[in-house]
Amino acid sequence: MNPWGFVQVALALLLSPLLIGVINRTKAFVAGRRGTPLLQLYHDAAKLLRKGAVYSRTTTWVFRAGPIVALAATLGTLPFLPAGGLRAVLWFDGDLLVVIALLGVARFLTVLAALDTGSSFEGMGASREVTFSALAEPALLLGLAAMGREVGSLSLSDMSSGLTAAKWFQAAPAMMLAAAALLVVFLAENARVPVDDPNTHLELTMIHEVMVLDHGGPDFGVILYGSALKLWVLGTLLVNASLPVRTSSVAIDAAAFLAGMLALAVLTGLIESAMARLRLAHIPQLLVGATALSVLAIILVLR
Amino acid sequence: MTNLIEVVLVLVVLTDFFLLGSSRLAACIRIVAIQGVVLGTLPVLGHLDNLTLRLVFLAVGSAALKAVVFPILLFRAMREANVRHEIEPFVGFIASILIGLGSLAVSVWVASRITLPRPVVSSLVLPVALFTILAGLFVIVSRRKALTQVLGYIVLENGIYVFGMVLVGEIPMLVELGALLDAFVAVLVMGIAIDHISRSYDHIDVDELDTLRG
């Protein structure tokens, strides 16, 4: 137990929508626009939560449970999530599997809710989401496993606080490969640009947006907030793996972690400004490529 | 310096994977050129303490050949044959990457079983050399277009280069230059062959070469 971990949980709850604001602001800046306010997502979620919801008569309780359970599962990962050198609230050997499984539960319920609408269109999105996440998960697991092997523990807190700068640079090639694989997973799982375009509402290209089309009002607000939290969770895993600032001072560690998250949001915005979305047929290639990077990282640390 | 050499070797593996997973011929030619440059630095990095003029000359020569001359020849062949993509290879791109992962594991295992006559700078050299050779061979047998097969041949030669350069260390210069010249002539001849194939058949799909035309 680490009671200070609750501060990190509170920060994640408070700041996660801000990351999306930073990404959108970066994109607007590169495009020469002024862009939406940084706090736009807070306003959107607050507005949606005050509205009423309309449910189709073909849907069942699964449709209503989807967003709530998905948010609950994502919230459940937060106590296990260390921030840089700072330990999480709870940790035990193998808790990284708990985090990944909870993210899987969130995805499963979102997919079920999409299928529950009976719309063939949402089924298409669900099928894509499941296909791509099945390809992204090995990259994520193997990338974290490479880190765990280097540090000698399968607990996220031990892995993160044990990954000192000296250790990181000693295995620099492997750590860079793992970080690159985690970046691809981060972009794919959060429906960011090379895989999915969060802005487009063109039917043929959407993945994540398709599945939540029939949700409205408070349900949609919960979905928006849940996806911001998921961005924070996967971003934390990536920043922990790629930014080895581990001093004895809590203030420096926390500042480095928050700066890392901010830099990650800016980087995502830059990637989205510089790249176009990949063709759907090429996305599996990208994700299998990320898995290849993870496997290479594991081979390097096992050697 | 071992760390820098390992970065170079990892880059070589990444370029191999890119070649296995990409269908765009122009990108493949560029990535093979990059592999040539990266490999050119290897003998220099491997002998930083006793750097001779011969080594520098060799490094610059092979890098210039692989990064400038080969791409020019191959881009010309690509333009004249008017192909841009490797379409419908015998083994798909995702399957190619997975097979690449398998052969990487095999290379690591085989390399761990081989006892070397002299110590090497990094334990990564042997697996990377074996994997690059296997990746080149795989590209040769699994792709349809003659141009991609030439790229596979260059990668195969690169693998042998890694093997010789860091493992044996002191190869006589004449042998090195002979090997480089061989590779050069081979790519030149294949470039001409691609041109001829595409002129007489309107494409460079070697799978069609088993039927005769009057």
Tell me: the pLDDT tens digits for B17-48? 999 988 888 999 999 999 989 988 887 777 77
Alpha-carbon distance B94 to nearest alpha carbon in chain A (angstroms)? 6
Neighbours of A33 (CB within 10 A): 11
Lowest-pLDDT choice from A168-177, A243-252, B185-194: B185-194
Mean pLDDT of A36-64: 92
Residue B172 lies in a domain: yes
Give pLDDT tens digits for A132-180. Answer: 999 999 999 999 999 999 998 999 999 988 888 888 888 888 999 999 9
DSSP H helices, chain A, are 5-31, 40-50, 61-77, 95-116, 120-151, 156-162, 165-170, 172-189, 208-211, 218-242, 250-274, 283-302
The pLDDT, as a whole number, for residue A222 is: 94
Tell me, what's the pLDDT at B169?
60
DSSP-assigned beta bridge partners for residue A86: A83
Which of chain A's residues have a Cβ under 8 Å away from the Cβ of B21?
285, 288-289, 292
Of A8-22, A121-135, B74-88, the one with minimum mean pLDDT is B74-88
- Mean local confidence (pLDDT), A117-140: 91
**Longest distance between any two alpha carbons in chain A, whole Å:** 60
Write down the pLDDT at residue A201.
Answer: 65
Task: Check residue B70 and give its pLDDT.
Answer: 86
Q: Determine the 3-state secondary structure of A124 from DSSP.
A: helix
Measure the CA–CA gap between B134 and B156, rounded to whole angstroms.
7
3-state secondary structure of B83: coil
Asked whether the predicted pLDDT for residue A121 surpasses 90, the reply is: no
Identity of the residue numbered A55: Y
Indicate whether A78 pLDDT > 70.
yes
Domain membership of residue B214 (yes or no) is: no
Residue B126 lies in a domain: yes
User: Closest approach of chain A CAs to the CA of B214, in angstroms?
Assistant: 40
Q: What span, in angstroms and rounded, lies between the C-alpha atoms of A119 and A263?
A: 39
> CA dist A42 to A47, A268, B167, B206, Å?
9, 20, 60, 59
For chain A, which residues lie within 8 Å of any Cβ of chain B, measuring from their own Cβ?
A: 172-173, 177, 284-285, 288-289, 291-293, 295-296, 299-300, 303
- pLDDT recorded at residue B171: 61
CA-to-CA distance for B33 and A184, rounded, in angstroms? 25
CB contact B126 to A (< 8 Å): no
pLDDT band at B168 (very low <50, low <70, confident <90, very high): low
Partnered with residue B145 across adjacent β-strands are B205
Q: How many domains does chain B have?
A: 1
pTM, two decimals, is 0.89
Phi, psi of B169, deg, nearest 5: 80, -70
- Average pLDDT, stretch B113-124? 78
Interface test with A, best of B1, B17, B22, B125 (most A CBs within 10 A): B17
Interface A-B, measured as beta-carbon pairs within 8 A, has a size of 43
Mean pLDDT, rounded, of chain A = 91
Provide the token pair at A72. 């609950």
Within a domain: B212 = no
Minimal CA separation from B199 to chain A, in Å: 32
Contact B123, A303 (CB under 8 A): yes
pLDDT confidence tier of residue B52, bands split at 50, 70 and 90: confident
Search chain B and give the residue with CA nearest A175: B7
Provide the domain limits for residue B51: 2-207
Residues 6+ apart with CB under 8 A from B158: B12, B35, B36, B39, B66, B132, B136
pLDDT attached to residue B131 = 95
Quick check: is B151 in a domain?
yes
Judge whether residue A181 has pLDDT over 70: yes
At A111, the pLDDT band (50, 70, 90 cuts) reads very high
Separation in Å, CA of B192 to nearest CA in chain A? 32
